[in-house]
Structure 1
Amino acid sequence: MDPSHRVLGREGETVEVFIPLKGSPVAIYCLTPELSRKTISNPMTHWWREGKSQAHVIGEGDQYRVRLDGSLMLLNWETSQATGFYYCTMKHIRGQKEYSLTLQFCLVAYHIPFRSLQVNVQLKTTTCEKHFVENSVKFLESVLSSMCRQLSCVITSTTFNCTQWGTLAGTVEHHIQLKIPVQSQGEDIIMPCKTGQECHNEETLRKAFQKIHTFLTQSKFVLDTSNDVPPLYYVEGSFKAMKVDHCLAGMGKLLGRNRPCVDCCVTCGPGSYSPNGTSICIPCPNNFYQHRFGRTQCMACPLGLKTNGEGAISSTDCHNARIQERMLDFKSEKSRVNDSTAPKDERHNSTHFMITIVVCSLAFLGTTALTIYCLVTFLCKDKDATANQPALRVKETENANLKNIRSSTHHMPMKADQNRGTWFK
């Protein structure tokens, strides 16, 4: 099978490659553009994924395959589980010398957002008693679900709220506010729509809208069956519907990208998750972490351990809060010790000051040399203290910058405002 697309690496950089679900095959080559134009002999290529040792090379699988020319061919991706960092090492001979090249790729699955229909409607009933309201909503949902099944769609997780309304006549009305989500079913819900054609997903939602609207608005009684289910009446003008974008579980919208589609759904990176039916990647909450791509939930830190904030990407981000506080106190104390205004320096300066007073007292007995020493000491004291502090601040700034550099290279985030990377349709 010949690949429809080819990708080359860049030495010293991570190449982002966005792979569409159910898309054409893509071949990743362990070559740079410069090296691809040269003649090499006896190339030996090894591929492995992040989290695997170099000895655990990639072989043949359902989603990728290493070809005879050493390239990694990505086959028809059905899910986002193959998303991650991939590495390759190629040893080859140019001229009379042997060379070794290591490249890194970040392969990310994506799909066009699919849409669901969100129906909001109010129904009037005779009571807000929980038992009767739940039975009414459950019965109504079963009727609407039966209608949707004929259209290859499904109603999921209907929510409701019953409130009392006072009227001008002094009576009380009971209104049920319903939120009814309608989603299409079928494999083509994540396939891109072609220009000038209506997607099956869009057509299904349009037909579902018409049927639900007709059923709820043109019936005198929406439901009137038995004493266990009180009658429901449609509130005039309350029917509203909107289309809502959704991503597959473990994926979320990457906002700000201009290609190949607006607001594509991409695999959520480490430190985030996306449950089923949502359209965003949610950072892991405090005291939770996630070190893998495309997950629907985060993992809790071991009992007694906590994180410093949201979005933790490793179990090593979980720490003992008390130990952390003590370490911070220790670092703070150490910083104060190094500071020219710290208590230790104050004690040192105080001791030096006392010695100076004693020596100066002897100066008043008539020793001219000691008097000169006192004057020089007092003049230099303030100058030394002032000169030491700026140097300390520069050192603290340098340490902060190094910390930021280390944290930025610990994990490569997918930036929303960055349009670099190779996208395939």
Structure 2
Amino acid sequence: MFHTVQQGRMFCAPRVWPDLGGPTVLRTMQILTLVLCSCSGKAAALPWNLPSNSSREYQADRVFIHTESSQYSLPCSPIDMKVADPTYQWVQDKAAPKLLSVTKEGHLLFQHFQAGDSGKYSCTISYKKHGVPVSQTFHYSVFGYHVPGGLDIVLLFHSTLCEDKWTKKFLWDLQEKLRQLEIEQHCKVQLAATCFPSLNNPSDEFIIQVRLEVSLFGPQWDEPCNSQNMEKAIDCYHKTVQHNLGQVQLALNRFFKEHKSFHITRNDTPSINFTNEFVGFLKTEQCSEGYGQTRELQRCLNCCIACPPGTFSPPRASQCSPCPVGTYSLIYGVAFCTPCKDSMITMVPGASSIMDCGKKDRNQQVDSIVHRIPLLILIIVPAILALNFLFIPSSCYWFCREYRVLSRDPAPGNMVISFFRISRQHLQNGPAAGPAILLQLTKLSFVMKQVMRHSFGISKLKAGAKASDGTAGFQSLQSRDSEDLE
């Protein structure tokens, strides 16, 4: 028995088939199929289709999950696959991946999602199809985001002390009293304080300025929004934030009306009073630190997206900026980049790995010199121009001085001056003054010729200064000048 199998199809020839064993229906059908095939001389397809590739990979769409979402379920496959006994394996592309929570249906669970949970995730679903192992891998890019909205509050308290230990104790006591309000309003409150002397009584009275930043994304804040549909979820988030914003403001107003004064005590010391005198509210649309309005989420262009590795966003920035040279960021959603250690630097801004830090080599030193060349040019070129402006007048001065010493006429420039004076007079006389002007031009040409000849004579005299007949040469030069004048 000879079989030739090619691309899932079997080619066969007339042969006598041996006994295949027990009289089962399946084997009988196989025999009939192959016999018919042998009689017709055509290829017969198998009763099933074997997959040509047992492993495939797919790049899925980007996934955006809201910050502090109570729970988000990410399926392994973007489409519903009906397979028998599948196994699922989720992997996070991170240097130190955390333990992932996966349901028996293969869904990856995120609880209280944070910016640091953003990144690349892959899920591999494995199963058998007609006894052949098959696996399909889906790659996801997960981003954290939040809709804009928050509350800033400024409080002014009067106190008789401005010591750091008392201020910290006061902030701790205020934070504890606000804890119940945070639970009820599903928000988070962060406090910071500064102390300065009072204008009325600077020596005995101080003002404690307390700043409260209220985040509306506290525990269970998204209870009204449980839709997996992105468009419906974003619309629900916007409405929930606006509703919670008004409720939090009313609750804080009531709180500070009921708590006008805070009595802070320490061991073996009298209590200090912090009396509230002013409360101011300001609604904000800024991003949280580590988030920026990158406009990547088309359904919410003003939403704040977690800054990717290599970028950062400090408080109140609302934009993701590349890490400066000498710093890097490894994870999503950082407020400040990490500096390189041991005097190392990065080659370019936006480093996303500690491996990008390196020592400053010779090439970098050359680059720094090249960058300084324009500055050097700006310094050197004006200096050269200034020297030229000084050299030209001084050269003219020494030339005129040497000419007056060697020339018989103590003022050779007088003829030039007289030429321009006489020329102006003749020009006033009209066309009849043509011959006189021509005569003056001839004289001016003679003066210029003398200037050139005397310049040559000066160089010749300097070259022969060491010879004994220097005086004779000078006299012969004067005699030639006399002949030219005649």
Under a length normalisation based on structure 2, what TM-score does the superposition of the two structures give?
A: 0.43
- Max radius of gyration: which structure? 2
Specify which structure has the higher proportion of helix.
2
Greater RCO (Cα-Cα under 8 Å, separation 6 or more): 1
